[in-house]
Chains A and B, each alone.
Chain A
Amino acid sequence: MKKDLKVAFFLGYKSIVNGHKGTIVLMIFILSLAFVNLVFVASILNGITTTINNQIVNNYVANIVISPQEEPRRKDYIVHTKELRQQIKNLPGVTATVAHYKMIATFAYDKNKDGQFKYGSWEVIGVDPEEEPSVTGILNNIIAGNYLEGLGSGDIVLGSDIAGGYGAVEEFKSLGGARVGEKVRLNFGNGATREYTVRGISKVRFILIDQTAYITAKEAKSILQLSDDRASQILVKIDKTGNEDWYIEKIKEIAPNLKVRKWTEYTSIVGDLTKSFDLIAAMISIIGLAVAAITIFILIYVNAINKRRQIGILKAIGIKENIVIISYILQALFYAISGIVLGSIIMFYFVEPYFIHHPLMFPIGDITLTIKEFQVTQGVFGLLVAAFIAGLIPAWRAARENMLKAIWGA
């Protein structure tokens, strides 16, 4: 067997080295594209779900959300938040916590100052401008004006979908173009009415966040008439996303009455989307693999058919069938491995960096490629298996052919 392998390797090697260069280059290029196709489509779809998850964790609810007691009696606020936050901060791996004050308000904006107001209802969150950037990324996503500052009570930061004019998903529902420095009036659910100056516009390209407005915690407490250290919500940021369950258990031990949720519970709005993308990715991978297998099969088959006379001659001079078959399988594997290497270079040195610098602009955020190791491994393994089978079948058929027919093409 070792002897046969050596001869098969020799024939395969010579066939590649002295074969038609254009054909070899074309085969490798086609296989590299098949590999890129396998990895790229899955990576784009992964990128969408990764972006959604990052938006939720980085800009919306951090890793863990602590809400007021729901059972046995529903409460509106979390009490003794300073002490609670301090205890949570002491847990190893917790990087920060913030308290939020959540309200719903009806916004009124008179764009042309002619008494014709445009109205809309959105969520308003009271935040501590100093602490907030340690947990959410709103500060980094101000596209006009500035972020909230200190304890100021007359300023508001509007999400771009509220302000309008920044390509909102539901532009018609927006205020129609509220700009920095202009006034908006808010009527809160508890009857309070306040007028604010737009200090900044934030946009993270995620509908849940871009339809939210931010005021200072002090202002929120004033509206809600909270004098002690109560809060509507506490967000907890940890150093490693994925380890939330352990922290949830610990927080429940500290505050058993509070409702503690993982960020994934806030993905229901996009949960079906994510599942659909996963399904599409799996289907495209299978189809891509089948197309790659058929491509290799056709290439090797055409190659074997073109060389059927040579195969006949090899058999006639006493070269065993299995040597011929193995030499073709080795050639197919060479094309597949070269295609994978070239495809990886294209993918990791050209396509991925390109998308990092030129992300796809989606309503849910900027999409770059998320290349998962197991999907690359799956692509590599799939292509190698496809190459093996696609090399075996045509070579086996050609090698089994009657020698005289093969030599004289009868």
Chain B
Amino acid sequence: MNIDVEVKNLKKTYPGKVPTHALGGVTFDIKEGEFVAIMGKSGSGKSTLLHQLGLLDVPTEGELIIDDVDISKLSDHEKTVFRLQRLGYVFQEYALIFELTALENVLLPAFALNGSKRSYKDRATEMLNKVGLSERTDHRPHELSGGEQQRVAIARALINNPKILFADEPTANLDTNSSREILELFKKLNKELGQTIVLVTHEPDDRKYVDRVIWMKDGLIEKTEKIF
């Protein structure tokens, strides 16, 4: 099985009067088609790690290779294009563009990548179908529930067929039912489409959905737990 993400001695220090060492040097791999959870207590460094993996932040030190590309060699502009082409990201809060409908939110990354809305409208509709929102395509974010918004965000993250889907505590603001639906959706995407997924969560119960858990503590990997 190919390796999608290769992390070597990755460190992140936030400067300040007293520098904060959020990541103290982590090393691990994520294989193609794997569903991995990064878990740990608050302040353990799990979100910081995901931000580095999702190219939302720049590590202080270490090596990060995603889909055979050494990320440290990419310019800011190249990283933006890389994110658009190969990564999908689902935020903790429902990070939708409130002036766009559900369909337009999903369509936006495809439009930005290919310059055509019309050609990708069907695919965007299909993605919304996949997340169970075929009836809500023309609704704007404020007309959708939290769970529905998060499903739109997942459809948006998948529109460009990303190599890896990152999700940063996507169920943190959802009720139990909606949380379960979202995680089952992730599981389904992983099983049926072979989608590589990296999920940050603090809910121990979420372990049952994933293949492997990377436990974080004080900015370091405490242990790796194989579930399946």
**For chain A, what secondary structure do more than half of its interface residues adopt (helix, strand, loop), or is it mixed?**
helix
Contact B112 A319 (CB under 8 A): yes
The answer to the question of A23 belonging to the interface, with a C-beta cut-off of 8 Å to chain B, is no
The answer to the question of B57 belonging to the interface, with a C-beta cut-off of 8 Å to chain A, is yes
**Residues of A in contact with B, size category:** 20 to 34
Q: List residues of B (93-137) whose CB comes within 8 Å of A's CBs.
A: 95-100, 104, 108-109, 111-115, 117
Stretch at the interface among A73-81, A246-254, A310-318: A310-318
Contact B108 A317 (CB under 8 A): yes
Given contacts A14-B99, A318-B84, A318-B85, contact A404 B51 (CB under 8 A): yes
Q: How far is the CA of A321 from the CA of B75 in the complex (A)?
A: 13
The answer to the question of A320 belonging to the interface, with a C-beta cut-off of 8 Å to chain B, is yes
Q: Which residues of A contact B80 (CB under 8 A)?
A: 315, 318-321
Q: List residues of B (54-113) whose CB comes within 8 Å of A's CBs.
A: 54, 56-57, 77, 80-81, 83-85, 87, 89, 91, 95-100, 104, 108-109, 111-113
Contact A318 B97 (CB under 8 A): no
Q: Name the residue on A nearest B159 (C-beta).
A: A317
The answer to the question of A6 belonging to the interface, with a C-beta cut-off of 8 Å to chain B, is yes
Interchain Cβ contacts within 8 Å, total number: 76
Listed residue (A15, A310, A318) with the most chain B CB atoms within 10 angstroms of its CB:
A318
B8 to chain A minimum Cβ distance, whole angstroms, is 23
Q: How far is the CA of A290 from the CA of B77 in the complex (A)?
A: 34
Contact A317 B84 (CB under 8 A): yes
Number of B positions contacting A (CB below 8 A): 32
Q: How far is the CA of A231 from the CA of B117 in the complex (A)?
A: 83
Q: Name the residue on B nearest A7 (C-beta).
A: B112
The interface bits of chain B over 149-162 (1 if a CB of A lies within 8 angstroms of the residue's CB, else 0) are: 00000001100100
A408 to chain B minimum Cβ distance, whole angstroms, is 9
Given contacts A317-B108, A318-B109, contact A18 B99 (CB under 8 A): yes
Contact A10 B77 (CB under 8 A): no
Given contacts A3-B115, A320-B112, contact A310 B83 (CB under 8 A): no
Given contacts A18-B100, A403-B56, contact A317 B115 (CB under 8 A): no
Q: Which residues of A contact B99 (CB under 8 A)?
A: 14-15, 17-19
The interface bits of chain B over 31-59 (1 if a CB of A lies within 8 angstroms of the residue's CB, else 0) are: 00000000000000000000100101100
Q: Which residues of B contact A323 (CB under 8 A)?
A: 112
The interface bits of chain A over 227-267 (1 if a CB of B lies within 8 angstroms of the residue's CB, else 0) are: 00000000000000000000000000000000000000000
Q: Which residues of A contact B96 (CB under 8 A)?
A: 313
Q: Which residues of B contact A2 (CB under 8 A)?
A: 115
Q: How far is the CA of A320 from the CA of B77 in the complex (A)?
A: 7
Given contacts A10-B117, A310-B98, contact A317 B104 (CB under 8 A): no
Q: List 22 A-B contacts (CB under 8 A).
A: A2-B115, A3-B114, A6-B115, A7-B108, A14-B104, A15-B99, A18-B100, A313-B96, A313-B97, A317-B83, A317-B109, A318-B81, A318-B84, A318-B85, A318-B87, A318-B112, A319-B109, A319-B112, A320-B80, A320-B81, A404-B56, A407-B95
Known: A7-B112, A18-B98, A318-B87. 12 other contacts (CB 8 A): A18-B140, A313-B91, A316-B91, A316-B95, A318-B85, A318-B113, A319-B109, A319-B112, A320-B77, A321-B77, A321-B80, A404-B57
